[in-house]
Structure 1
Amino acid sequence: MIPATSFSGKRVALFGLGGSGVATARALIEGGADVVGWDDNPGSVTKAQAEGIGTADLRAEDWGNFASLVLSPGVPLTHPKPHWTVELARGSGVEIIGDVELFVRERTRQAPTAPFIAITGTNGKSTTTALAAHILKSAGRDAQMGGNIGRAVMTLDPLAPDRNYVVECSSYQIDLAPSINPTAGILLNLTPDHLDRHGTMQHYALIKERLVAGSETAIIGVDDSWCAQIADRLERAGKPVVRISKRLPLADGYFADGSNLMEAIDGRYSRIAFLEGIGSLRGQHNAQNALAAVAACLKVGLELGEIQSGLESFPGLAHRMEQVGRKDHILFVNDSKATNADAAAPALSSFARIYWIAGGLPKEGGIEPLRGFFPRVAKAYLIGEAAPVFAATLGEAASYEIAGTLAAAVEHAAADAAGDACGEAVVLLSPACASFDQFKNFEVRGEAFRQAVNAIEGVKPIKGSMV
């Protein structure tokens, strides 16, 4: 745990007593703060009280006595309307921050030279975070990974100058971290997301920009217009900017040429790393993730040889194009985290012969945006509530069956793929749906897929995925 010593002797309001909220409260208490916690869920309040955290209804408190409101990232700050605690804090001139801001202040106070890599973007954050942390660990560094992935940021090991911190940041967390100042800040990409919480795409982009604007070096994917404009704007302001692209040769920066990762300096190119044969990093989207991780690891002092070794040994991220097993020419891939069409597209674009398990609780638009990938689908196995509408979308464009359950889909897909004589066949769970009609969450769905695959006679498990 990282004690929040910068709040020693101060009275702090904390709203949101879920897992990360309780962890944040403990860090504040450990640092000497007087914490008053609350939650709209009475069960969360009761649980926090049982764990020794002081609670009180913040509506009845004197806000003039609070130094700060520490807000859970899931609580509305601006849209659709500010939470009542936000209005009370603003009415009394109390700052509103989150756990990432606590981490930033402690780092500045205790170990300002500790390497700090922060990652954001609409897509690819988790893979890039896990990859950067893995490369650092494989090179012998003490690498702590957390934030919006894995451990809450204040539960990471205490700050030390030689300890590396790799932190995934959602837009909600950045909105509550006004002082964020990473050594290397990564902005991967921007597409419309969470607009119910941020109001407009412009506001969403401005929040994401804060992470790279506050960094020593801004690493920015320039394959979309929003990020390209941010890179140009920061460079004009004198910020060191490293541009990355998964498809464009750049005059300066890093870009992907097939499986080769290239560095460009004044229009001259050289290969710095490669992804050929690394199954956990297939696809253009992973080329972007790898470029960002490489650029960040170079910034914090790793050598190219150490980075290449880390790329080659990366096991992949659990539930995100996770290779879970192989039987003869069949590869089984768990992409349960793909809960909408945009999230499923990278996996569908990465394989040529797919036995596709899709369905669940459908999202708006269904799988129509994936029509361009239907020629890659040898057969689809449709599950859950979305099965009938997905069947209608597939029509005659691809063979399909309504399997109903995930277990049946795995069994049928494996049997059909076994008779495929066209080279590597991939049984791919990439649902393009939420899981809640049949499973508690996408992790439980992915684990059910893994268990069903491993139960098939002759399957050799592929182990080691992170998180």
Structure 2
Amino acid sequence: MIPITEYAGRDVAVFGLGRSGLSAARALKAGGARVHAWDDNEETRAKAEAAGVALSDINKRDWQTFAALVLSPGISYKFPQPHRLVRLAEMTGVPVIGDMELFARAVQALPERARPKVVGITGTNGKSTTTALIGHILKQAGRDARIGGNIGTGVLDLAALHSNSVYVLELSSYQLDLVKSLHCDVAVFLNLSPDHLDRHGGMDGYQAAKMRIFQNQTSKDTAVVGFDDLYSQSVAIGLSARGPQKVVQISSTYTLGRGISSVDGHLYDNQSGKAERLGKITDCPALIGRHNFQNAAAAYAACRALNLDPATIMAGIQTFPGLPHRMETAGEIGGVRFVNDSKATNAQAAEQALRAFSNIYWIAGGVAKSDGIAPLAPLYPNITKAYLIGQSEDVFAATLSGKVPVQRCGTLERAVEAAARDAKAAGQPDAVVLFSPACASFDQFRDFEHRGDVFRSLVQAMASAGVRATA
């Protein structure tokens, strides 16, 4: 835990008691603050109490006494409209911050020589894989890497600050909206495409939130920026022209004159102006597809900025085990590969998986995002048949009508059974049952992890039944 001492002896409101809220409440209490923790959801409050967090109904408190409101990133801050407690904080002059801002202030309060290194990773897609990959490379190299933020462990639940450590933090746009003091020694901006627009008032607001990852960088720092979409290209060019930090461009599409390129699965370091071929990303089974080539290029650039040598970085890349729910092989049955890509909660994320295979029995559906799956039309030839589930079933069926054979399955269990049966019957050696929903999960599951766990269990049960049948 990272104790937060800034508010010792003062009253602090914590609203939203999910992972980050609980983490903030514990860290503030450890630092001597009087914590008033609350959540509108009764079940969440009960879980918080069970976890040892004392509740205090901040709706009934005198807000003039609060030194700050620590807001969960899942709570509406500005758009589509501020939560009523955010408005109350603004009316009473109470600063609204998040757990990442508490972390940032704790780091900045240390003497410069005692501060850890901070690597921040953001982007619409690929954040989790890149964060985990950077952390893995650093640990393999013997560095004290602490991995968290929007992935795994809440930032304030990570081990206490130490000058020899490196904090590798996945940063969502919601978290970045609530930071002012965060300083990233290395800031990674992977890509940008429309997502969460209701929470940011449109694309401009979404991009502005992501850009906050660079706001406190100096000439000693490094910005690693993707160059594979128009939005991130504009960011890379703008920072190169105006920013104080060193900018390293990365691409899995272009052979860059200066930067890091991962073209056709080969990684090149062109930072000196002369391309150095480093090795094959395709040797790593956990990094399938062009999007993962970009993730590998970003991880390489970040680790080079932390002074790791190329050979050490490549060794780390090639031993990366991958992430659950992101292009994860859940099993192989009768020559058919089953891939769990439950983390693909929008079309842009699903696009990466659909590019990686050519004979796909695609399971999709859930709570659709605003653009649905229409942007995936160029990849329809890779889809042998689609199996639709959840709330978006009718909309997706209409989108795919006349372009891809469709079966409406309703539930994930029926979809897995149907896709497995059809793929096995076809008897083609490259068949893949791909669960890449292109949707949020909340119509049928708690979250994408729960959804992916259910898919994996269904595949494992099917595999076990097949073994018993042939025994």
Q: Same fold (TM over 0.5)?
A: yes
Aligned pair in 2 of structure 1 residues 392, 40: CA closer, same or farther (>3 Å)? closer
**How far is the alpha carbon of 1:410 from its aligned partner?**
2.2
One of 139, 142, 160 as aligned partner of 1:140: 142
**How far is the alpha carbon of 1:420 from its aligned partner?**
4.1
| Counterpart in the other structure of 1:116 | 118
| Counterpart in the other structure of 1:340 | 346
Matches within 5 A, 1:27-426: 27-42=27-42, 44-45=44-45, 48=48, 51-53=52-54, 55-58=56-59, 60-63=61-64, 65-110=65-110, 112-215=114-217, 216-235=221-240, 236-265=242-271, 267-327=273-333, 329-426=335-432
| Counterpart in the other structure of 2:13 | 13
CA contact (8 A) 2:445 2:451 kept: yes
Aligned pair in 2 of structure 1 residues 44, 227: CA closer, same or farther (>3 Å)? same
For 1:62 and 1:339, how far apart are their aligned partners in 2? 38
Long gaps (5+) in structure 2: none
Counterpart residue identity of residue 172, structure 1 = Y
1:295-331 CA distance string (max 9 Å, x none):
1112223222222122122222211111111245322
For 1:413 and 1:367, how far apart are their aligned partners in 2? 19
Aligned pair in 2 of structure 1 residues 268, 75: CA closer, same or farther (>3 Å)? same
CA RMSD of aligned residues (A): 2.5
One of 456, 462, 471 as aligned partner of 1:450: 456
**How far is the alpha carbon of 1:221 from its aligned partner?**
1.0
CA contact (8 A) 1:219 1:244 kept: yes
Aligned pair in 2 of structure 1 residues 54, 122: CA closer, same or farther (>3 Å)? same
Aligned pair in 2 of structure 1 residues 250, 402: CA closer, same or farther (>3 Å)? same
Long gaps (5+) in structure 1: 462-467
For 1:213 and 1:52, how far apart are their aligned partners in 2? 34
CA contact (8 A) 1:338 1:430 kept: yes
Counterpart residue identity of residue 141, structure 1 = R
For 1:46 and 1:16, how far apart are their aligned partners in 2? 13
For 1:384 and 1:81, how far apart are their aligned partners in 2? 28
**How far is the alpha carbon of 1:335 from its aligned partner?**
1.0
CA contact (8 A) 2:63 2:92 kept: no
Aligned pair in 2 of structure 1 residues 358, 62: CA closer, same or farther (>3 Å)? closer
Classify the secondary structure of the residue corresponding to 1:455.
helix
CA contact (8 A) 1:250 1:267 kept: no
Counterpart residue identity of residue 451, structure 2 = R
Counterpart residue identity of residue 263, structure 2 = D
Q: Percent identity?
A: 48
**How far is the alpha carbon of 1:148 from its aligned partner?**
0.9
Aligned pair in 2 of structure 1 residues 373, 47: CA closer, same or farther (>3 Å)? closer
| Counterpart in the other structure of 2:446 | 440
CA contact (8 A) 2:362 2:385 kept: yes
CA contact (8 A) 2:255 2:261 kept: yes
**How far is the alpha carbon of 1:409 from its aligned partner?**
2.6
CA contact (8 A) 1:351 1:376 kept: yes
**How far is the alpha carbon of 1:422 from its aligned partner?**
4.2
Classify the secondary structure of the residue corresponding to 1:326.
strand
For 2:156 and 2:400, how far apart are their aligned partners in 1? 46
Aligned pair in 2 of structure 1 residues 232, 388: CA closer, same or farther (>3 Å)? closer
Aligned pair in 2 of structure 1 residues 99, 358: CA closer, same or farther (>3 Å)? same
Classify the secondary structure of the residue corresponding to 1:13.
strand
For 1:272 and 1:406, how far apart are their aligned partners in 2? 41
1:36-56 CA distance string (max 9 Å, x none):
233333554565566353524
1:376-432 CA distance string (max 9 Å, x none):
122222333444443343334333333443223323322332344543221111122
Q: TM-score, normalised by structure 2?
A: 0.90
Aligned pair in 2 of structure 1 residues 356, 120: CA closer, same or farther (>3 Å)? same
1:41-96 CA distance string (max 9 Å, x none):
35545655663535243564142x43322221122222222233333333344332
CA contact (8 A) 2:360 2:434 kept: yes
**How far is the alpha carbon of 1:351 from its aligned partner?**
0.5
**How far is the alpha carbon of 1:131 from its aligned partner?**
1.3
Aligned pair in 2 of structure 1 residues 62, 349: CA closer, same or farther (>3 Å)? closer
Q: TM-score, normalised by structure 1?
A: 0.90
CA contact (8 A) 2:37 2:53 kept: no
1:208-262 CA distance string (max 9 Å, x none):
1121232321111122333233333333232211111221222211122110121
| Higher alpha-carbon deviation: 396-405 or 446-455 | 396-405
Classify the secondary structure of the residue corresponding to 2:152.
coil
Classify the secondary structure of the residue corresponding to 1:67.
strand
| Higher alpha-carbon deviation: 364-373 or 44-53 | 44-53
For 1:415 and 1:23, how far apart are their aligned partners in 2? 45
Aligned pair in 2 of structure 1 residues 436, 232: CA closer, same or farther (>3 Å)? closer
Classify the secondary structure of the residue corresponding to 2:283.
coil
